Amino acid sequence: MEGSSLSRAAVRPLRVVQWATGNIGSYALRCVLDHPALSLAGLYVHTPEKAGRDAGELCGRDACGVTATNDIDEILALEPDCVLYMPIACDVDDVCRLLSSGANIVTTRGDFHHPASMKPEIRLRVDAACHDGGTSIHSTGSSPGFITEALPITLTSIQRRLTSLTIHEYADMSRRDSPGMLFDVMGIGRAPTTFTDRQLTHARTSFGPSLRLLAESLGLPLDSIEASGELATARHDVRIAAGTVKAGTVAAQRITASGIRNGRPLLSFTATWYVTTDIDRDWDLRETGWRVSVDGDAAMDIDVRFPVPLERFASVSPAYTANRAVNAVRIVCEAAPGIRTTADLPQVIATLG
């Protein structure tokens, strides 16, 4: 073990490009700047106003000497070992150019969790680009990612019989000062209706691939992914950081993606987001965090809580998504060419010192 630690410390720093500087990207950028085994080679930005500025200044740090660009050719010329790809939307053309050039990709985009769930033509293009460049691409993050893949794989490693595995995610949004997200996107404060086909499709496509990957890793492939959603309303007017939610309007939502095998749910993920616990449904509204229940011959019930004040959670939450991506850079760079999943790769071990 001592020799292994020494050899790991002696490996040259990997040259990393950060792609995009939103909430997750900016946090990842700071992580790369601080990382003892990574070196920031470049920064790609989408807005012209950010191009030409120093990467450190764009993420709230001192100048670091790396200039942001919005020209992919300039990124390719840097010949990075890895790109931390974190845009709002995935551009397959850019992804394939990066992979073909010899740059590995770790992304918090959910497009690559389960290759068989991808559109066949896109999967073939990306896989061909990986083999052209001798590179790999990996999707990770917190949810989906850590909570739907890494942790369940660990928990099922002490099972020999699995009846079901359920994941519950809870988010108290009452102190989140994001009226656009809460009122416009989530529909908080509106009259209750039903979940749309678009919302249910989003649940299936966001979490279905991750559940399929987990099931196949366990030798229990799923027959289908089903989605359902429920809404709850406020019993009384409530004032939250983003505004006022009137009595009788939506104050909580719960959406579930279930992996069906042999006619029953084998794996399920349920996200419950709420702005008050005073609702018209008898829901288990826990503090922000996760609960994972395993029904098997070694049954378990695991609570994961985030001990962060709600007022600070918006500034802290990017760490849960960005950190795992940063920590996965080296194993992705060392992986065989192709679209690599959590089940393909070794355990992600952070280099903290």
CATH number for position 243: 3.30.360
**Confidence bin at 266 (pLDDT 50/70/90):** very high
Helix or strand holding residue 269 (H, E)? strand 264-274
Question: What is the average per-residue pLDDT within 161-167?
Answer: 98
Is there a domain that residue 353 lies in? no
Q: Give CA–CA dist 299/161, Å, rounded.
A: 10
The CATH code of the domain that includes 122 is 3.40.50.720
Is there a domain that residue 212 lies in? yes
Q: Which domain holds residue 134?
A: 2-140+328-339
The answer on 273 and 130 residing in a single domain is: no
Residue 218 in tokens: 């366990």
The answer on 180 and 301 residing in a single domain is: yes
Say yes or no to pLDDT of 3 above 60.
Answer: no
For the chain, give the percent of residues with pLDDT over 90.
91
The answer on 289 and 156 residing in a single domain is: yes
Is there a domain that residue 8 lies in? yes
DSSP assignment of 110-175 equals: GGGS-GGGS-HHHHHHHHHHHHHHT-EEEE--BTTBIIIIIHHHHHGGG-S-EEEEEEEEEEE-TT
Number of domains comprising the chain: 2
pLDDT at 195: 87
The answer on 234 and 182 residing in a single domain is: yes
**Which residues fall within 8 angstroms of residue 346, CB to CB, at 6 or more apart?**
331
Q: Give CA–CA dist 30/9, Å, rounded.
A: 21
Residue 63 in tokens: 């100048």
Say yes or no to pLDDT of 2 above 70.
Answer: no
The answer on 150 and 297 residing in a single domain is: yes
Q: Give CA–CA dist 143/164, Å, rounded.
A: 19
**Which residues fall within 8 angstroms of residue 218, CB to CB, at 6 or more apart?**
156, 162
CA-to-CA separations, 174 to 42, 179, 276, 277, in angstroms, rounded: 37, 11, 7, 10
The answer on 297 and 334 residing in a single domain is: no
Say yes or no to pLDDT of 9 above 60.
Answer: no
The answer on 201 and 52 residing in a single domain is: no
Is there a domain that residue 348 lies in? no
Contact yes or no for 311/175 (Cβ under 8 A): yes
Is there a domain that residue 349 lies in? no
Q: Which of 249, 248, 269 is nearest to 258 (CA)?
A: 269
The answer on 281 and 206 residing in a single domain is: yes
Is there a domain that residue 322 lies in? no
The answer on 150 and 299 residing in a single domain is: yes
Say yes or no to pLDDT of 241 above 60.
Answer: yes
Q: Give CA–CA dist 259/19, Å, rounded.
A: 33
The answer on 151 and 135 residing in a single domain is: no
Is there a domain that residue 320 lies in? no
Contact yes or no for 299/324 (Cβ under 8 A): no
The answer on 222 and 157 residing in a single domain is: yes
Q: Give CA–CA dist 248/86, Å, rounded.
A: 38
Is there a domain that residue 298 lies in? yes
Q: For residue 320, which phi and psi values (nearest 5 degrees)?
A: -65, -30
What digits encode the pLDDT tens for the residues 277-309? 999 999 999 999 999 999 999 999 999 999 988
The answer on 175 and 302 residing in a single domain is: yes
